[in-house]
Structure 1
Amino acid sequence: MEAPKPKFGVILFLFLFLFVVLYPNVFVLRTLADGVTPEEAKQLRDEVREMFYHAFDGYMENAFPLDELRPLSCGGEDTLGGYALTLIDSLDTLALLGDRDRFSTSVEWIGKNLRFDINKTVSVFETTIRVLGGLLSAHLIASDYATGMKIPTYDNQLLNLAEDLARRLLPAFDTPTGIPFGSVNLLHGITSTAGGGTLTLEFGVLSRLTNDPIFEQATRNAVRGLWARRSKLNLVGAHINVFTGDWTQKDAGIGTSIDSFYEYLLKVNMDSAALVWPLFNSLQAFWPGLQVLAGDIGPAIRTHNAFFSVWKRYGFTPEGFNLATLSVQHGQKSYPLRPELIESTYWLYKATRDPRYLDAGRDMVASLQYSARCACGYCHISDVEFHKQEDHMESFFLAETIKYLWLLFDLAVGPDNLVENGPYKYVFSTEGHILPSTPQISLGICPGLTHGQKFGISYVMSADIQHTKPTNNRDREPTVSQSHSVNIPGENSNYLQSVNKQNHENVETLDEGGSSKNYSPEE
Structure 2
Amino acid sequence: MLARRSRVAVVFVLACGFYLFHKALFSDSGLVGFDFTIPHDTQIQYPFKERGINARDAKKAEAVKEVMKRTWSLYKEKAWGFDEIKPVSGKHGNSRNGWGATIIDSMTTAAVMGLTDVFNDQYDWVVNHVDFNKAQGLVDPFETTIRYIGALVSTVDLLEAGVISAPSPSFREGILAKVKTLADNLGPGFDTPTGMMWPRVNFTQSLGVDVYGRRHEHAVVHLARAGSHWLEYSTLSHLTGNKIYLDNSTKAWDCLVSNRRGEPWPGILESPRSIWTGLPAGTTRTLGAPDDSHYEYLIKAHLLAPNGSTKQYARRWYQAMTSAQKHLSSTTKSQTNPHTFLLSYSKNRYENKVGHLTCFIGGNILLGAKYLSQNSLFSFGEALIEGCHHSYDSMPSKIGPEGWSWMPRESHLRPPHFPGPITLSQKEMYEKTGIWATETNYNLRPEVVESYFYGWRITGEEKYRQWAWEAFQAIVRGAEANWGYAEVDDVTNLRKEGNLRDNSESFWSAETLKYLYLIFEDPELCNLDKWVFNTEAHPLKRRF
Same fold, TM-score > 0.5, yes or no: yes
Q: Which residue of 2 aligns with 1:449?
A: none
* Mapped pair 1:206 → 2:282: no
Letter in 2 for 1:68: E
SS of match in other structure, 1:316: coil
- Change in 2 beyond 3 A, CA 1:253/1:179: same
2:288 is the alignment partner of 1:256: no
Point out where structure 2 has 5 or more consecutive residues left out of the alignment: 1-52, 211-219, 288-319, 330-339, 371-376, 408-419, 421-429
- 2:25: which partner in 1? none
Q: Is the 8 A contact 1:333 1:382 kept in 2?
A: yes
CA distance in 2, matches of 1:175, 1:312: 46
Tell me how many residue pairs correspond in the alignment.
393
2:357 to 283, 299, 310: 283
- Residue 531 of structure 2 is matched in structure 1 by 426
Does residue 198 of structure 2 align to residue 181 of structure 1?
yes
Tell me the equivalent position of 1:370.
477
DSSP-derived class of the 2:69 partner:
helix
* Cα 1:187–1:358 shift into 2, 3 Å: same
CA shift, 1:385, in A, is 1.5
**Structure 1 residues 97 and 278: CA distance shift in structure 2, 3 A:** same
Closer/same/farther in 2, CA of residues 236 and 137 from structure 1, 3 Å limit:
same
CA distance in 1, matches of 2:262, 2:541: 32
Q: Within the alignment, does 1:233 sit opposite 2:265 as a pair?
A: yes
CA contact (8 A) 2:55 2:520 kept: no
Kindly indicate whether the alpha-carbon contact (under 8 Å) linking 2:56 and 2:520 is maintained by their aligned counterparts in 1: no
Letter in 2 for 1:346: F
Say whether residues 1:135 and 2:152 are aligned partners.
yes
The answer to whether the 8 A contact 1:266-1:277 is kept is no
Where 1:276 maps in the other structure, the secondary structure is: strand
- Residue 351, structure 1, aligned to residue 458, structure 2: yes
Give 1:297's aligned residue.
378
Q: Does 1:243 align with 2:259?
A: no
1:390 aligns with 2:501: yes
Of 384-393 and 342-351, the range deviating more from structure 2: 384-393
SS at match of 2:401: coil
- Quote the Cα distance in structure 2 between the aligned partners of 1:357 and 1:88: 29
User: After the TM superposition, which residues 428-467 of structure 1 pair with which residues of structure 2 at under 5 Å, given as runs?
Assistant: 428-437=533-542, 442-443=543-544
Contact 1:379 1:392 in 2 (8 A): yes
**SS of residue paired to 2:209:** strand
* Equivalence for 2:403: 320
CA contact (8 A) 1:116 1:186 kept: no
Q: 2:387 aligns with which of 306, 330, 342?
A: 306
1:207–1:214 contact (8 Å) kept in structure 2: yes
Letter of the 2:198 counterpart: F
Aligned residue for 2:200, secondary structure, equals strand
2:64 counterpart (29, 48, 55): 48
Contact persistence 1:71–1:379 (CA under 8 A): yes
Which residue matches 1:401?
Answer: 512
Give the secondary structure class of the aligned counterpart of 1:147: coil
CA apart distance, 1:244: 3.7
Summarize the alignment of residues 13-92 of structure 1 with structure 2, pairs less than 5 Å apart. Answer: 41-92=57-108
1:317 Cα offset (Å): 2.1
Q: Is the 8 A contact 1:266 1:275 kept in 2?
A: no
Distance in 1 (alpha carbons) for counterparts of 2:150 and 2:247: 17
Q: Deviations over 1:2-22 (max 9, x none)?
A: xxxxxxxxxxxxxxxxxxxxx
More moved, 255-264 vs 206-215: 255-264
One-letter amino acid of the structure 2 residue matched with residue 88 of structure 1: I
1 CA distance for matches of 2:161 and 2:534?
A: 22
Structure 1 residues 145 and 430: alpha-carbon distance in aligned structure 2, compared to 1, 3 A threshold: closer
Secondary structure at the aligned position of 2:128 is classed as helix
Q: Structure 1 regions of 5+ residues with no counterpart?
A: 1-36, 444-523
- Match of 1:383, SS state, is coil
Shift of residue 329, structure 1, vs aligned partner:
5.2
**Structure 1-normalised TM-score?**
0.71
Are 2:169 and 1:93 aligned?
A: no
Measure, in 1, the Cα distance between the counterparts of 2:147 and 2:281: 27
- For the Cα contact (< 8 Å) 1:252–1:267, is it kept in 2? no
Q: Could you tell me how far apart the structure 1 residues matched to 2:77 and 2:382 are? A: 41
Verify the 8 A CA contact 1:179 1:226 in the aligned structure 2. Answer: no
Shift of 1:220: 1.0
Distance 2:436 2:475 in 1: 19
How far off is 1:276 after superposition? 1.7
Whether contact under 8 Å (1:176, 1:244) holds in the other structure is: yes
- 1:45–1:230: structure 2 CA closer, same or farther, 3 Å change rule? farther
Instruction: Tell me if the contact between 2:111 and 2:164 (Cα under 8 Å) persists in the aligned partners.
Output: no
Q: Give the 3 Å change call, closer, same or farther, for CA 257–275 of structure 1 in structure 2.
A: farther
C-alpha change, 1:239 and 1:404, in structure 2 (3 Å) is: same
Q: Deviations over 1:234-283 (max 9, x none)?
A: 2212312212433232211124342324453333547x9x5520111111
Deviates more, 1:77-86 or 1:359-368: 359-368
RMSD of aligned C-alpha atoms? 2.4
- Deviation sequence 1:9-53 (CA, Å, 0-9, x none): xxxxxxxxxxxxxxxxxxxxxxxxxxxx97994322111111111
